[in-house]
Each structure stands twice: as C-alpha cells, then as structure tokens.
Amino acid sequence: METKETTKKCVGCGRKIPIDAEICPYCKTSFAQLMTIDIPIEIRPGDVLADRYEIKRLLGSGGMGTVFQAYDKELEIDVALKFIPTPLLSDRRALETLRKEAQLTVKLTHENIVRVYDFKQHQTLRFIVMEYVQGKNLKQILEEKGKFSVEEAKTLLKGICEGLSYAHKNKIIHRDIKPANILLEENSNKPKIADFGIAREVKDTMTRVTGRTITGTLLYMAPECLRGEKPTVESDIYSLGATIYELLNGEPPFVRGDIYSQILREKPKPIKGIPNHINDVLLIALSKDPNKRFHNALDFYKAFAGEAKAKKKILPLKKKLLLPLTIISMCACFLIGLILFWPYNNRLNRTLNETITVKPKIEDKQHKKIDIDKPKTPIPEKKFDKKKEKEWHFVEVDEKPMFGISIRRDINKKINLLLTENQKIFWGTEAKRGFDWVLVGKGRFPVFELDDLGFPHFFFFDHRGLVYKRYLGAERWKEKVIVETDQGKFLNGSFQFERGKIYLCYALPNYIKIVIYDLNSESVKVEELKEAGWWPKIFVNGKSFFVLYIKDDVLKCAKKVDSKWATDILDTNVTFIEKVKNSFGVVYFTKNALKYTFPYAGEWLAEIIVRKAGLHYQCAAMKMEGDVQVLYSVDDAIFLAKRKFKKWQLKKLQEKRGWFCAIDRGALAFFDGSKIVIGRLK
C-alpha cells in the first residue's frame, strides 16, 4: 500500500515542511512567489543540439534553469548544458547580460573552478556549456552525512579559497557562494566552484523580468547586498563564511524568525564543540561591516587553518575608542585655536570700529571719477554642473488610426508600430524615411510582442475567433485560430506570454473568459470567471494567475484558489485601468485622480500619481530598470510620470491632447486627433 507524502523540502532553507504549506515557517520563503521552470519538451536523450552536443540525461531542474549531461562530439568529452529559464528567452537585455557574464567566466581556468566553455543557441533555446563534474554538491553531501568535522572543512576550504582568490584577482565576483554551488569531485574529492556570476545574474534578471523575488540565496547573502549595494570581494567572503558555518553547524547562521533583520543586525551564535579560534574566524568573516572581514580568501583560509592569528579582539576596541578619541581631538583643537586667536580678535575689533575713508579712483585717460558706491559689474554666480537629462524629440507619422496604437523597440532600437484603421491591422517598422507598413489582417483588439530575434507575434479577434499570427521573415507568416467561439462578441482584454504559453483574458457581456494556449503543443485550455467586468488584465505568477477588472466602477482582483474564484475589492469610483508592462502593477483612473497599485507582502498598495478632476482616461505604463513610467493625457496636454525612489516626478511633454497612448523603452506614441505622434529619447 502506497503511503502519501506529508512533507516537502523548502527551496529556501532545505528543511522539511508540511506539504500544503504556502510559506516556510523557518525562512519565510513564499511558494506563491517561486517559479518552477518546466523541462523543455523539445529535449530528449539522444537529441543533438547545435549539431554538436548529444543529450545523455537530465541532471536537474529548478527555478533557475534545467541542466542536462551531454557529449561534445568535437572535444569528445562529457559536458553539462545549463538552459536559460523560459521567461528570459524573450528578453533581449537578459540574454545579452548572461552572454557577457558567460564570456567573462570563460577566462577562468583553475582546478577549483568549474570551466565554462561557451554560450550557445539551439532553435529558440539558449544554454551555457560547462565542464561536467561527476560528483555531488556540498548541500547534498551535508544532507546525507550530516555535519562536517573541522579537519574536513579545512581541507575543503583550502581549495575553495584558492579558486575564489584566483577569480578575485581576475576582477570577477561570484555573488552566489553557497553549498549548492560547490561541487565535490567523486574520485579526487577536489572542491569546484560552479555558476560563477551566472546563477546570481539569472536570479536578478528573473526578478526584473517577472517581478518576483527569488529567495533561495537569502541565507548566504551579505548584509550590504541585502541593502542593494554592489557586491564586492568581501561579499563573497561573507557567503563563504556562511557556507562553512553551515558545514560545521548543520544549518546556516540564521534560519528562523525574521531572517532579513537578523542578517542586517544580529550576531551569529558561536558553534558548540569546535575550537574557539575557529568561531573567532567565522565571526570575522560574517561581520556586518565589510571593512572588518577578510579582504582576501586566502587570508580567510590561513586564519582558519591557524597559520595566521585572527585579529577579532582588536576590532571592537578600535570601534569603542574611535568616537571618544575623535571628540577629544576636536575639543583640543578648538581650545588651542581660541587661545591663539583671542589677542588678534581684540585688535581686529578695534580696527573695524575706526572710520575708514576711501579716495575715489580716477581713470587714467578720461580723468572721470568712479563712484565707489556703485556696484561693479556683477560676477556671475557659479552654478553646479548638473547631468543633462535626455530630451524627448517628436515626429509626426502621416497615418490616422481609428482604434488603438501599440509600440515596441526591436534589438536594433528601431520603433515598431501596430495600429488599427477601419478594422484593418497594420504593422509598421521604422525606415530611413517614415515607416514601412504591412497589412497583418482584418480584426479588432490587436496586440503584439517582439521575440529575441526581432520578429513580431500578433494576436487579434476576427470573424473566426481569436487568431495567433507570427511573422517568420522573408514575407512568410504562420497563422492559427486558437478559439473559434464568441465571434464578433469580444469587448476588450489583455495578453501575457509566460513560459512558452499565452495567457489571454477578455470580457464578454456576462462573464470574463481566460484562454491558455501552449505554443509548443498548440493545446488550448479555457476557464471562465462568472462575473461581468470591463478592461480585464491578466497577471501570471508561476502556474497560477489572477485577473484585475472593473465591475460597477469598482476595481476588483480575482484569483482562483482550490478551483474556486476568490475576489478582493481594491478601489472604488474607477473608470479605466491599464496594465504596467514588465510588472504586476496597474495604473487606473478614478473620478479625480490617476493612481498606481501593485502587490507587496500579500497586500495591494496604492499610490496617487496626480490628483486632478476631469482626467482624460488615456494612459500607458511600463516598468524599466526598476522605474515605473506612465504616459497620460489631461487638460489638452501629454504628461509623463516617472516613479523613482518611491516618488512620482511629472513632466509635460507636449501641449496636445492624446488618444491611444503607448510607451516602450525610450519611445512613446499617441494620436493627437489627426496624426500619430512618435517620441523618442535622444
């Protein structure tokens, strides 16, 4: 008889927790925020990728990608292929960043570092080719055998520190040192550091692209990195200290309670049963202040091995004496200065009280007196040079859309437009003179996105239903009708790409329909929200999703929980909502304000962008590099609002009212009543 599993492993701290738990009680990891990346269905054992790598077997799959063992036919060796997560494949910036990171790590050739060979492409997939290491990582070994002895940890630490020091000399920071990223060769027991810079870059990019924070590395993250500061050599030292602490203690320094607060403020507890000098060395490595840690990985090892004494006791003394000595020195300087200046001060006061007569000056040639009471030519005040902000430059396009504009910038930073005129959908690409226009089809409510190669994907409704159309290049197209029902009844809706699928929601007279289309298998799944609503916007979070919509001037959020829809009320008197690209937030109009709302810590937070009566409900928004930008029209003018450091900055762009506002990276568009106006930053 099979026994049903009652526990699962937390991906944040590795502890066993109840299988139905949504939040880890130890490290507070939220499973609703974590994304599980499916194994690419195109890959099977025996497949040959890039005409070179023959797939052998799956090594592992998780939130940061999927890893296969493969055979390199050219080098005739086994390699590991780490595939980039699906959500990043359509993000050109993410792919370029990962490619550059891989190129840097290719230069690292050390026996204690896992080699990176190349960054490759196979069809729509991207993967990193790495050295295949036969063995297990320290996290797996720790779970199997338990705590390490001091001698075992010292042996491992020597190789790790040598590899880490070599990378630091080459000006490369790992940024993600932890037991799971340190492999132990099966035959030689030699430690090898894996994922140099790559794993952390994937996490950061996943957070930027999806809006979700990946929390698995929190337990080993240095305090300064937690505060958002740039990682340094000392940050790697902290992560290595937390790793060795876990090997000796069985768990990281902080695993219970408010881990964020503990990492920033609390001191790790000494490990019982190990020599005192080892605890002293670990406390230095885990210091909150980077300046008080070891500045070189080899210094860390030497202190751990007893080859150099740790100066732990000296550091607190300096901290205690620094402030009193500074105050005493300042007081002494003040007293000495007062004693020396006092006689001179008395003479100066007497001189200033005397009457001073000034003879008027005479010019040499014209012998005219100069009135000394008149001010001379004023000297211009010195102004600080401020960094010039980029200006918006506008041009007009001789087209007249009847409904809707969308704008995107491709990999060459050229503007792509999508507009609808009399139910004809046109796609325009920027050329030397104006735009080159192509008729996509006849329909309504079109939307499009560009893939990493710059090819557009279109979705729209026509008399047949919901249509998916893709441009393949060289005037070749691929077209498919996804949903054949509800022809001609569509009111409005939104789309989102996620993990090789299209999530679509649209409003019908009596309910909201959700369609999930798998681009690989071309299968279709349909769900219904039995409530009428307007302007529905869908947001995908891993395998779950939620919908924001307006019902009787009330902004609502609906999420499916246990096959039932749960609905929350977010705001009232709402007239229009628009989704923020690259984010989980929306901007929306009430009767007297434009607002921005977004989820945070399980709640929806709302901010007022501008408060003014009579707002014209046309806007577009996107999130780029952490800043939310909103383009909107009010009082016969176009404004751009930018959220920076949790504050909104407003800027008037043009004295024109705009319809069908659209915005993308450094580009915007709107319809002024007669022509399309394009703006770009220069």
Task: Kindly report, residue by residue over 415-461, the tens digit of the pLDDT.
Answer: 888 888 778 888 888 887 778 888 888 887 787 877 766 778 888 88
Residue 203 and residue 300 in one domain:
yes
Residue 573, domain member (yes or no): no
Q: Is residue 322 part of a domain?
A: no
> What is the pLDDT, as a whole number, of residue 625?
60
What is the mean predicted confidence (pLDDT) over 361-390?
A: 42
pLDDT one-digit tens code per residue, 151-161:
999 999 999 99
Q: Domain ends where: 297, 315, 333? A: 315
| The pLDDT of residue 236 is above 60 | yes
Per-residue pLDDT at 278: 94
What residues have CB less than 8 Å from 12, skipping those under 6 apart?
24, 27, 28, 29, 215, 216, 218, 219
User: Is residue 588 domain-resident?
Assistant: yes
3-state class of 440 per DSSP? strand
Q: Mark whether 285 and 419 lie in a shared domain.
A: no
Pick from 9-18, 38-47, 261-270, 616-625 the range whose average pLDDT is largest. 261-270
Q: How many CB atoms lie within 10 A of CB 287?
A: 22
Rounded Cα gap, residues 361 and 587, in angstroms? 69
pLDDT band at 563 (very low <50, low <70, confident <90, very high): confident
Q: Could you give the strand order of the β-sheet that contains 444-450, starting from the edge strand earlier in sequence?
A: 444-450, 456-462, 465-473, 476-483
Residue 50 pLDDT > 60, yes or no?
yes
Q: pLDDT grade, residue 192 (50/70/90)?
A: very high
For residue 638, the tally of other CB atoms under 10 A from its CB is 25
Same domain as 165, residue 302? yes
Q: Which residues, 6+ apart, have CB-to-CB distance to 527 below 8 Å? A: 513, 514, 516, 560
- Residue that is last in its domain, among 315, 348, 374: 315
Distance of CA 261 to the CA centre of its chain: 22
* Range in 79-88, 102-111, 298-307, 612-621 with the lowest mean pLDDT: 612-621
To the nearest whole percent, how much of the chain has pLDDT over 90?
16
Residue 56: alpha-carbon gap to chain centroid: 33
190 and 64 belong to one structural domain: yes
Strand pairing category for 586-590 and 574-581: antiparallel
Q: Domain count for the chain, please give it.
A: 2
What is the Cα–Cα distance from 286 to 224, expressed in whole angstroms? 12
Q: How confident is the model at residue 87 (pLDDT cuts 50, 70, 90)?
A: low
> Which one-letter DSSP state was computed for residue 180?
G
96-110, 155-169, 409-423, 543-557 — most confident range = 155-169
pLDDT for residue 119: 84
Residue 326 has pLDDT above 80, yes or no: no
* Residues contacting 413, CB < 8 A, separation 6+: 666
3-state secondary structure of 465: strand
Question: Where does the pLDDT of residue 314 fall: very low under 50, low under 70, confident under 90, or very high at 90 and above?
Answer: very low
My answer on whether 71 and 206 are in the same domain is: yes
Q: What is the predicted pLDDT for the residue at 148?
A: 94
Instruction: State how far the Cα of 306 lies from the Cα of 119, in Å rounded to an integer.
Output: 41
Lowest model confidence (mean pLDDT) among 119-123, 305-309, 378-382, 583-587: 378-382
Percent of the chain with pLDDT over 70: 73
Among candidate residues 315, 342, 361, the one where a domain is terminated: 315
Residue 514 has pLDDT above 70, yes or no: yes
Same domain, yes or no: 273 and 413: no
HSE (CB half, 13 Å, CA atoms) of 140? 10
Sign, Cα dihedral of 423, 424, 430, 434: negative
Q: Are residues 84 and 176 part of one domain?
A: yes
Q: Is-above-0.75 flag for pTM?
A: no
Q: Does residue 349 belong to any structural domain of this protein?
A: no
What is the structure's pLDDT at 399? Answer: 62
pLDDT at 495: 66
Judge contact between 153 and 254, C-beta under 8 A.
no
Do 76 and 202 share a domain, yes or no? Answer: yes
Question: With contact defined as beta carbons under 8 Å apart, do 656 and 669 qualify?
Answer: no
Tell me what pLDDT residue 121 has.
Answer: 83
Q: What is the mean pLDDT of residues 123-130?
A: 85
- Answer yes or no: is 8 within a domain: no
pLDDT confidence tier of residue 3, bands split at 50, 70 and 90: low
Domain identity same for 311 and 404: no
Q: Give CA–CA dist 588/618, Å, rounded.
A: 10
pLDDT of residue 5: 63
Residue 46: predicted pLDDT? 86
Other beta carbons less than 10 A from residue 554's beta carbon: 14
Asked whether residue 594 is domain-assigned, the answer is: yes
- Helix (H) or strand (E) run with residue 69 in it: strand 65-72
**From the CA atom positions of the chain, what is the Rg in Å?**
32
Query: What CATH number is associated with residue 79?
Result: 1.10.510.10
Mean pLDDT of 191-218: 60
Residues 66 and 189 in one domain: yes
Range with lowest mean pLDDT among 364-373, 450-459, 625-634: 364-373
**How far from 351 is each of 346, 355, 372, 507, CA to CA, in Å?**
9, 9, 21, 87
Q: Read off the pLDDT band of 640 (50, 70, 90).
A: confident
Nearest to 280 by CA among 313, 249, 252: 313
pLDDT for 24 equals 65
Phi, psi angle pair for 622, to nearest 5°: -155, 160
189 is in which domain, residue-wise?
A: 33-315
Question: Residue 386: its pLDDT value, please?
Answer: 44
CA dist., res. 61 & res. 56, Å (int): 15
Q: Lowest mean pLDDT: which of 116-120, 197-201, 260-264, 586-590? A: 197-201
What average pLDDT does the chain have? 76
| Pair 305, 417 in one domain | no
**Calpha distance 509→332 (Å, rounded):** 82
Check whether residue 302 and residue 400 sit in a common domain: no
* Average pLDDT of the residues in 70-77: 90
At residue 365 the predicted structure's pLDDT band, cuts being 50, 70 and 90, is very low
Cα–Cα distance, 619 to 414 (Å, whole number): 22
pLDDT exceeds cutoff 90 at 165: yes
Q: Which helix (H) or strand (E) holds 467?
A: strand 465-473
Q: Is residue 73 part of a domain?
A: yes
The pLDDT tens digits of the residues spanning 467-496 come to 888 887 777 888 888 877 665 455 466 767
Here the contacts of 124-127 (C-beta below 8 Å, separation 24 or greater) are: 124/89, 124/451, 125/40, 125/42, 125/43, 125/49, 125/83, 125/84, 125/89, 126/83, 126/84, 126/89, 126/95, 126/98, 127/49, 127/81, 127/82, 127/83, 127/84
520 domain residue, yes or no: no
Instruction: Characterize the bridge pairing of strands 616-624 and 574-581.
Output: parallel
Which secondary structure element, helix H or strand E, spans residue 136, and what is its range?
A: strand 135-137
Instruction: Give yes or no for a contact between 402 and 421, defined as CB atoms under 8 angstroms apart.
Output: yes
**What is the mean pLDDT of the segment spanning 376-405?**
57
Of 52, 53, 84, which is closest to residue 69 (Cα–Cα)?
53
Q: Which amino acid is at 497?
A: F
Whether residue 255 has pLDDT greater than 90: no
**DSSP character at residue 484:** -
Return d(Cα 217, Cα 212) in angstroms, integer: 14
Give the pLDDT mean for 395-424. 75
CA atoms of 426 and 401, how far apart (whole Å): 10
